[in-house]
A and B are shown apart, each in its own frame.
Chain A
């Protein structure tokens, strides 16, 4: 089975802190994604990556950055956390070329910024 692991399930941070959310997948998928989930808004794409060291902005990239130094790992970085970044963050991956388009999700990281 594909496994997408998010290192932290629950985090509490203070305004202005730098926050790292880590995601690792074990199926050699080329594509990785960070989504943000908020009630009534569904999932919104923050950033995605098609390959190592490549990244593209999604729909709501402001206030976030990402890093993909290895194929299996995709990190989301909040340079200076703010209260409006309190949310559930979901990482996902999918293979390129011939895949069905199914995204495989981690269990999520719930971030609270005080």
Chain B
């Protein structure tokens, strides 16, 4: 079985500062990894995904994540936070192609200070 741990339920950053959201996974087979974002009162939308190609993955809105197998990590970063980045972020893992189900982390809420 696979699982995801997100370190830190809340992160507060200043506008223009680095955003770093941590995600560690456990999986007995090579994983597929995802970051989703949820804006208030909306569903989740995909930020980026790792599916065994390049280990550094670029997503929408200036976010990127690096897959590190030795650390079983998939941390999300953005060099310069914008007010519009305030949202909840979820890391997720699956072991496709055999399984279409995703296991989600508990989520990290990001607030951006002016």
Contacts and interface: CB of A to CB of B under 8 A. Distances in A.
Interface of A: 4, 31, 33, 35, 40-45, 48, 50, 58, 90, 92, 94, 96, 100-103, 105-108
Interface in B37-88: 41-46, 49, 51
Contact of A90 (B44, B92, B94, B101): B44
Given A101-B94, A108-B43, 14 more contacts: A41-B106, A42-B90, A42-B106, A43-B102, A94-B100, A96-B100, A101-B49, A101-B102, A102-B34, A103-B44, A105-B36, A105-B43, A105-B44, A105-B45
B25 interface: no
A96 B99 CA distance: 10
Contacts of A33: 101
A58 B101 contact: yes
B112 to A, nearest CB: 20
B113 interface: no
Interface of B: 6, 9, 32, 34, 36, 41-46, 49, 51, 90, 92, 94, 96, 100-107
Nearest to B102: A103
A48 B9 CA distance: 27
Contacts of B51: 100-101
B44 A100 contact: no
B47 to A, nearest CB: 11
Most buried by B among A40, A42, A50: A42
B90 A107 contact: no
Given A42-B104, A43-B90, A101 B96 contact: yes
B51 to A, nearest CB: 6
Nearest to A105: B43
A4 B102 CA distance: 17
